[in-house]
Structures are given as C-alpha cells and as structure tokens.
Amino acid sequence: MNEPGTSGANVGFTHWEDSLDPFPDLESESSESGDDDDINTDPQLMEELEVLLIRMLELVEEYYKQLAHPEVVRVASKRQRDSKLTGPMWVHWVLTHPNQTTCYERFRMSPRTFLNLCNTLKMNGFLRSSRYVKITEQVATFCLVMAHAHKQRDVADRLQRSLETISKYVNAVAIAMCYLGKTIIQPLPMQVPHPYIMKNSMYYPWFADCIGAIDGTHVKAKLRGGNNVPYRGRKSSIKQNVMCVVDFNLCFTYVYAGWEGSAHDSRVFFECINDPNVRFPTPVGDYNYLVDSGYGCFKGFLPPHRNNIYHQEAFRKSGIKPRNAMELFNYRHSSLRSIVERTFGIWKARFNIFEDMPPYPIENQRLFVVACCAVHNFIRRFEGQTDPLFKEALQQMYGQDWVDVSLRNNMPRTQYVELGLRPDQTKASKEYMSAYRAAVAEHMWSTVHGG
C-alpha cells in the first residue's frame, strides 16, 4: 500500500522532470490503492490535458490555413526581409515580362540589351556570378541605383538582400563597367565628313573636318564631412565637373571625371590635354573638335569668335539674325556643337543618380560617371535605333524620315586622332587656326548672301 500522497495520481506534467519514470504504471498502483476515482478526477491533470489539447488543435488549424491561404496567414519570422518574391525571381519576372516597357522602366534598357550587356561583361572577364548572386541580379542592382537614384536600403528590400550585398555589387559592377569603358569609350574610325554634317547645308562644307565636340557638365555630388567647399559650384550646390568629348554618333569618346565643381572648364581642359598620362585623343592632320571660346584657339580645336553673339538662345531672345560673317559662323558653330548638350541630355535622362546623388564616397561617384558613360555607349552601339531616348534624338537630328547610317560598317573609315599626343599650342598654331576660322566665316557669309 502506498503512503498517502505518493500515488501515481500526484505525478503531473509540470513536475515530470523530478522522476526517472515520468509516466508510471498508474493502473497497477491504482489497483493496489483502490483510488481509481482520484486518477480520473484529478483537477490539475485534467486542466493541463485540456490546455494541451486546445493548443494542439490551434496549431493544426493554423497549419491548414497556411496551406490553403499562404498570403493571409504567415508564420512569424525574425528576418527583416522575408518576402516570397526573392531577388532572382523578381529579376526574372522583369526580364521575361511580355511588355518590354516593364524592363525599360526599371533598368533603362530593353531585355535584349540587358542580357547582351551581362554576357559581354562575363565573356570579357569583367564580372562573374558568385555562389548566391548571378550576374543578371548584380547588373540589375547597379541599374536600379543608377537609373532611379534608389537608396541601397530600398534596393535591398526589393531584391531581398542585405545592405552589405547591395553595396558590394553596386561597386563591383561599377568597376566592371569602367573596364568595359576602356574598350568602348574611345574614338572609333568613322566616315569623315560625318553623315549628319553632309546632310545639312548649314554645316557642310564649312565643318566637314569636324570630328566631334568638347564641353563640360556638372553633376550632383555629396560629400561626407565638411570638406565640400571646392565642390561648390556657381549656384552654391555640391557638384562634380566632368569634361567629355562626344562624336556625332551621340557617343562619348573621352571622359575626364572627378574635378571639383568650382574648377573652371578651361582649367580642366588644359590640365587634360597637357597630361600625357590621361591619353587624350588629339586630332591629327586637318581634323578638329568644336570647342567653347574659353578653351583657346589652336590647331585641332575650333572655337567661336569672341565678343560676338554665340548661343542660339541669345539669337532667339534678341530676335535678330546674324548680321556679319562672325555672327553667322557663331550661330552655326553653336548649332552643330549642341550635339554635346544632346548627348548629355540622353545620358542624364537615363541615369537619374546624377540629379540626386546618394552619399557615396567621392571615389565611387567618379566611377559612376565613367561606368554610366560606358553603358550609354553600349546601348547606342548595339541598340541605338530602337532605344526610345536615342530614337527621339535621331529624329530631331535627321528629321522624321531618318535612317541611322552613322554606325554602319560598310562605309569608308578614317583614323583621325592619336592618343596621348600633346596638341601644338605654339603661336604659329594659334595664328593658323585663327586664319582658318576667319576664312571659313567669310566663305560662309559670301555663299549665303551671294557676295
């Protein structure tokens, strides 16, 4: 006979750890003690069994609800980013969407161009897939930041990646694009005179030897700390000065990035052409670039006449037509040189980051400029006729019934520059170019006015 208080009826779920046998043979003990009613009616045991049964039923119910309606009932998770639409799934959805505008609005290029770009980076060894992130997702990360100026946290939420992963691949793809830029941001042999010049009587034959134009642009910059005074431009905003050479195909042939916004364009220009390490593409022979009057007048660089109306906007505002040879030359020079502004316009319209730069290190901001110029050239050379931005610009240049012949390979090509050659800035060179400019202006005036 058991002692009072030691029967199996006193063994509960809350104290089973104190016994080596948590479930003793209650039946045998109760038969000896005769306390069957105590086992069946113990309040503590019955209450615990009831609670356990209710909880089991709740778990079963939640399980079947999760199977039937996963979007309504979700298992609680401690992960910050636990969306079912992962980064690879989202990129695949964008690239395979029946409406290609979906891809263009997000990546600023068509699916075909996007995949071609990824394949080019892979085949040249500039970028490779990691264990968890494929090249397509890496390039998509870069495009989201460059095209929309998205913060890294927003991109991390969209692609379900950590902030470290997003930062890593934005920088990795930017560096890969810069390597691509070494092969794609350079002057290519082309037809001279260019078809754009030949088809317009305003430009031909006066500018038949022009191979491109040079100008600078300011892009937004953000610096951490207080060392931002040199980067303050004329409107007190923090900017980066970028000098570019563009051809009449709307392509960048040279990019010089990283200068402070307070630096004058002429200073950047002369530092560039006098430094052999930057390998500036200097014109050879009788070829020349169209430049601003602040860049100087010497062989290979054709500026407008000083102290005369120059910009087309100034002519429109004044409501007057060119009154002499120098003003007529300046008017047409400004019209042709607007190819630079047109190219910058396409570039900035595609990459909104240059209107609202996140606070990256200034070294990264310089890389972004070159990287986006490389993407610009890639799209122009491989998809230029169908890309909406380029298509609109070409229609404005050639008219509605335009045919893009500027990049065809069946035309005679001319090599017109030499990399790293220092331009001739002697007095004789300046006198030669001034005389050449005056002769062109007089010939242009006499042809137009028949005198």
- Give the closest residue to 236 by CA, choosing from 218, 210, 211: 218
Q: Which of 132, 161, 184 is the last residue of a domain?
A: 184
Same domain as 201, residue 170? no
- pLDDT band of residue 51 (cuts 50, 70, 90) is confident
Which residues make beta-bridge pairs with 220?
239
Place of tokens 């005769």: 34
Mean pLDDT value across the chain: 83
Distances (CA, A) of 421 to 119, 242, 283, 436: 34, 21, 9, 22
Compare 255 and 14 and report the one with higher pLDDT: 255
Question: Does residue 189 belong to any structural domain of this protein?
Answer: no
Average pLDDT over residues 54-67: 76
Mean pLDDT of 118-129: 95
In this structure, are 333 and 438 located in the same domain?
yes
Residue 11 counted as domain residue: no
Residue 412 lies in a domain: yes
The 3-state secondary structure of the chain reads: CCCCCCCHHHCCHHHHHHCCCCCCCHHHHHHHHCCHHHHHCCHHHHHHHHHHHHHHHHHHHHHHHHHHCCCCCCCCCCCCCCCCCCHHHHHHHHHCCCCCHHHHHHHCCCHHHHHHHHHHHHHCCCCCCCCCCCHHHHHHHHHHHHHHCCCHHHHHHHHCCCHHHHHHHHHHHHHHHHHHHHHHCCCCCECCCCHHHHCCCCCCCCCCCEEEEEEEEEEECCCCCCCCHHHECCCCCEEEEEEEEECCCCCEEEEEEEEECCCCHHHHHHHHHCCHHHCCEEECCCCEEECCHHHCCECCEECCCCCCCCCHHHHHHHCCCCCCHHHHHHHHHHHHHCHHHHHHHHHHHHCHHHCCCCCCCHHHHHHHHHHHHHHHHHHHHHHCCCCHHHHHHHHHHHCCCCCCCCCCCCCCCECCEEECCCCCCCHHHHHHHHHHHHHHHHHHHHHHHCC
Q: How far is residue 199 from each of residues 26, 398, 407, measured CA to CA in Å? A: 106, 8, 15
Q: How confident is the model over 236-276, as pLDDT tens digits? A: 688 889 999 999 999 999 999 988 888 888 899 999 999 88
The amino acid sitting at 440 is V
- Flag whether 13 is in a domain: no
Residues 426 and 346 both lie in one domain: yes
| Pair of tokens at residue 248 | 């009449």
Of 126-130, 197-201, 206-210, least confident by mean pLDDT is: 197-201
Question: pLDDT-derived band of residue 21, with 50, 70 and 90 as boundaries?
Answer: very low
Of residues 156 and 80, the one with the higher pLDDT is 156
Q: Are residues 289 and 428 in the same domain?
A: yes
- What's residue 315's pLDDT? 73
Looking at the chain, the whole-number percentage of residues with pLDDT higher than 90 is 49
pLDDT tier at 222, thresholds 50, 70, 90: confident
Check whether residue 96 and residue 145 sit in a common domain.
Answer: yes
Evaluate whether residue 355 is within a structural domain: yes
Q: Are 271 and 369 in the same domain?
A: yes
Short-list 349, 331, 353, CA closest to 341: 349
pLDDT value, residue 41: 61
**150-205 pLDDT, tens digit each:** 889 999 999 999 999 999 999 999 999 999 999 999 888 777 888 899 888 899 99
Q: Which one has a higher pLDDT value, 135 or 1?
A: 135
pLDDT over 50 at 23, yes or no: no
> What pLDDT does 412 receive?
54
* The pLDDT of residue 7 is above 60: no
Which region among 223-232, 390-399, 414-423 has the lowest average model confidence (pLDDT)? 223-232
pTM across the whole model: 0.79
**Where among 160, 184, 208 does a domain terminate?**
184
Claim to verify: residue 143 and residue 208 sit in the same structural domain: no
In angstroms, rounded to a whole number, what is the distance separating the alpha carbons of residues 16 and 100? 65
Q: Judge if the upstream peptide bond of residue 22 is cis by omega within 30 degrees of 0.
A: no
Would you say residue 138 lies in a domain? yes
pLDDT on residue 114: 96
Does 161 reside within a domain?
yes
Kindly report which listed range (9-18, 45-54, 127-136, 199-208) carries the lowest average pLDDT score.
9-18
Mean pLDDT of 357-378: 92
Mean local confidence (pLDDT), 58-62:
79
Contact status, residue 214 vs residue 291, Cβ threshold 8 Å: yes
Structure tokens at 56: 């089991």
pLDDT of residue 40: 54
Same domain? 172 vs 249: no
- Give the separation between CA 229 and CA 164, rounded to whole angstroms: 30
Q: For position 264, what pLDDT does the model report? A: 86
Q: Bridge-partner residues for 288, per DSSP?
A: 210
Nearest-CA neighbor of 122 among 172, 176, 185?
176
b (16+ CB within 10 A) / e for 110-127: bbebbbbbbebbeeeebb
Highest mean pLDDT among 176-180, 283-287, 382-386: 176-180
Tell whether the model's pLDDT for residue 77 goes beyond 70.
no
**pLDDT at position 30 over 70:** no
Out of 77-86, 136-145, 295-304, pick the least confident.
77-86
Q: Are residues 57 and 125 in the same domain?
A: no
| Number of domains into which the chain is organized | 3
In the predicted model, is pLDDT for residue 403 greater than 70?
no
State whether 383 and 246 are in the same domain. Answer: yes
What value does the mean pLDDT take over residues 290-301? 91
- Residue among 170, 182, 175, 167 at smallest CA distance from 140: 170
Q: What does the block give as tokens for 214?
A: 């040079």
390 pLDDT higher than 60: yes
Q: In the predicted model, what is the mean pLDDT of residues 414-425? A: 85
Is residue 81 predicted with pLDDT exceeding 80? Answer: no
- Tell whether 23 and 159 lie within a shared domain: no
Sort strands 288-290 and 301-302 into parallel, antiparallel or unpaired: parallel
Of 3-7, 293-297, 320-324, 425-429, minimum mean pLDDT range:
3-7
Given 152, 184, 216, the domain boundary residue is 184
Candidate from 100-114, 203-217, 305-319 with smallest mean pLDDT: 305-319
Q: Indicate whether 33 pLDDT > 90.
A: no
Is 82 a domain residue?
A: no
- Distance, in Å, from the CA atom of 5 to the CA atom of 319, rounded to the nearest integer, reads 113
In this predicted structure, the answer to whether residue 54 has a pLDDT above a threshold of 60 is yes
Tokens 């005679």 correspond to: 412
Residue located via tokens 């290979």 = 300
For residue 156, give the amino acid letter: A
Question: Is residue 148 within 8 Å of 137, Cβ to Cβ?
Answer: no
Domain encompassing residue 67:
1-6+19-76
pLDDT above 60: residue 64 = yes
User: Are 439 and 358 members of one domain?
Assistant: yes
